[in-house]
């Protein structure tokens, strides 16, 4: 199985792209901090603010289900996939090439 350059993928695909693909709509925004319903556990209340994401750092945290991580880990958690499969799926969803590790 070929390797994926996860650092390159995280640098190229920003949190905003992932949130957009997940149809996340923030309830509140203060600077780079967004709050809204959690896409991981599927908040039933559209006004929930349990999910917090910092756009600048590319990190998220849900105060209810305790899911946390970066944009790739968010995609993997929502899609219920291992990181490797989620990386390929995310790249395909956005229409980008997977940053495969090539060895010469």
Q: Is 73 helix (H, G, I), strand (E, B) or coil?
A: helix
pLDDT for position 62:
97
Give CA–CA dist 95/1, Å, rounded. Answer: 21
On whether the pTM is more than 0.85, the answer is: yes
pLDDT for position 104:
57
pLDDT for position 30:
96
Cβ(36)–Cβ(25) under 8 Å?
Answer: yes
At 30-81, the pLDDT tens digits run 999 999 999 999 988 989 999 999 999 999 999 999 999 999 999 999 999 9
Structural domains of the chain, ranges and CATH numbers in brackets:
6-94 (3.90.580.10)
pLDDT for position 32:
96
If you search the block for the tokens 């990181």, which residue do you land on? 83
């Amino acid at each position: 199985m070929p390797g994926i350059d996860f650092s390159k993928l995280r640098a190229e695909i920003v949190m905003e792209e992932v949130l957009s693909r997940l149809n996340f709509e923030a309830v509140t925004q203060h600077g780079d901090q967004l709050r809204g319903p959690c896409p991981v556990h599927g908040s039933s209340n559209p006004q929930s603010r349990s999910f917090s994401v910092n756009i600048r750092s590319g990190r998220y945290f849900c105060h209810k289900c305790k899911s946390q991580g970066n944009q790739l880990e968010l995609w993997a958690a929502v899609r219920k996939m291992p990181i490797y499969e989620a990386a390929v799926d995310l790249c395909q969803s956005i229409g980008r090439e997977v940053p495969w590790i090539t060895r010469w």
